[in-house]
Structure 1
Amino acid sequence: MFRRRRREQPEAVADQEPAAPTHESGPWDADEPHPDTDRIDLGGLRLPHNPDFDVRLASLGDQHVGVVVLYEDSSLQLQALAAPRTAGLWDEVKTKIMAQAKTLEERQGPFGTELAGEVNIDGDVRAARYIGVDGPRWFLLAAITGPGALDERVSGAFIDFVKDVVVVRGDEPMAREEPITLSRPHERQAAGEPDERPAFSPFKRGPEISETR
């Protein structure tokens, strides 16, 4: 299992009273007030700790491009992307997904408009639910697949998980839809290392799932 990140606040201000969150739930931006709880630190994402979930990194080559959360017979996939300062990405990404999976339909969910139905990935037909959240200069895509996409108990557990995710966008320039860097706990890329991250594609099975115990 991943090791949790104990504190969200720098040591210099650890004794100060944290500011109250400005909304009821996340996903949170790292620079906004949010609950200071134990989280799994993956660099670009900080994830809430749930002992029932098996959290793994999804990789293409040596690049960590997302997170896979396994629970019972279902999975939650998370990917954080850089977004323009003036506009969100969900409407655009939603159109791309619907063009590839015509069985998906729009419906209203806890984060606004989402997509639900079935998808065919390399001949494997599975129930699916796509959720998009536009943040400040970032976009978070959550995809629930398997029986949990239809089971409110399982999907509810995944939704609660997403609501407590913290996205760490950083200040560096990034291309539109460029995956925000992820890494294993305490693992950070060396400064100046070339970064050739793969383009976003929600239907490719390609990413390999790596587990840290």
Structure 2
Amino acid sequence: MFRRRRREQPEQAAEQKSAAPTRESGPWDADEPHPEADRIDLGGLRLPHNPDFDLRLASLGDQHVGVVVLYDESSLQLQALAAPRSSGLWDEVKTKILGQAKHLEEQEGPFGSELTGEMKVDGESRPARYLGIDGPRWFLLGVISGKAAADETAAAPYIDFIKDVVVVRGEEPMAREEPIPLRRPNEQQTGESPEGPGLNPFKRGPEISEIR
């Protein structure tokens, strides 16, 4: 469980005070003005601190590829991917998801177009809600499942959580759809960015581990 609290570095806070956010909410890019807050630093993602949430890293091999947030009989998977400078990935990712899940429909949500309905994981069906956000050279995919996928009241804490996420893309070259590297709060950033497979919402591949 993530329990480390992180306040933005002093130089970052000074920059944010001198330039007010141009939008009401995120997800934020690390290089744009965004509100100062206690956030958990995972390298490629800085997540808002909420003591009611159980946050865990999802890993494939020795690479951390995403985050799983557990709360109130529901879960949220978050993964940040590298995207082309010229265009976003959400339209393409939506097409891929719809090609694998036939019981989803498109609708408008707080971040624009999203997919809702049911998905099958290992032969079992469960409510699902897919949210995609295109950022500058990154793409953030959120998958809400369980009670919150079909209940707006239950989903509200997850939506607020996503709105305060900060994505740290970095300047290093990355392949299209390559997971933006994550790390545990007490680990040093290595600077390496090994390409690896991303989270597949239709399989139980990633290993989920607690952070204390």
Using the size of structure 2 for normalisation, the TM-score is 0.94
1:211 aligned to 2:178? no
| Paired position in structure 2 for 1:69 | 69
- Matched to 2:87, the amino acid is A
Q: Residues 32-67 of structure 1: CA distance to partner in whole angstroms, max 9, x if unpaired?
A: 000010001100000011111001100011110000
3-state secondary structure, aligned to 1:210: strand
Write the distance in 1 (CA, Å) between the matches of 2:157 and 2:122.
27
RMSD: 1.7
| Paired position in structure 1 for 2:5 | 4
| Paired position in structure 2 for 1:93 | 93
| Paired position in structure 2 for 1:57 | 57
* Deviation for aligned residue 1:16: 8.0
Q: Report the number of matched residues.
A: 211
| Paired position in structure 2 for 1:34 | 34
| Paired position in structure 1 for 2:110 | 110
Write the distance in 1 (CA, Å) between the matches of 2:147 and 2:190.
40
Alignment of 1:1-213 (within 5 A): 1-2=1-2, 3-10=4-11, 14=14, 17-191=17-191, 195-199=194-198, 201-213=200-212
Q: Residues 61-89 of structure 1: CA distance to partner in whole angstroms, max 9, x if unpaired?
A: 11100000000110000000000000000
* Deviation for aligned residue 1:8: 4.2
Write the distance in 1 (CA, Å) between the matches of 2:59 and 2:147.
24
* Deviation for aligned residue 1:195: 1.9
In structure 1, the gaps of 5 or more residues are none
Write the distance in 2 (CA, Å) between the matches of 1:141 and 1:15.
28
Write the distance in 1 (CA, Å) between the matches of 2:177 and 2:130.
17
Contact 1:118/1:126 (CA < 8 Å) preserved in 2?
yes
* Deviation for aligned residue 1:201: 3.0
- Matched to 1:20, the amino acid is A
3-state secondary structure, aligned to 1:17: helix
Q: Residues 150-194 of structure 1: CA distance to partner in whole angstroms, max 9, x if unpaired?
A: 121221110000000000000000000000000001313435x57
- Matched to 2:132, the amino acid is G
- Matched to 2:78, the amino acid is L
Write the distance in 1 (CA, Å) between the matches of 2:31 and 2:82.
15
Using the size of structure 1 for normalisation, the TM-score is 0.93
Write the distance in 1 (CA, Å) between the matches of 2:99 and 2:16.
49
- Matched to 1:67, the amino acid is V
Contact 1:9/1:36 (CA < 8 Å) preserved in 2?
no
Contact 1:131/1:141 (CA < 8 Å) preserved in 2?
yes
Write the distance in 1 (CA, Å) between the matches of 2:132 and 2:73.
22
Provide the identity percentage. Answer: 72
Contact 2:115/2:130 (CA < 8 Å) preserved in 1?
yes
Write the distance in 2 (CA, Å) between the matches of 1:194 and 1:79.
15
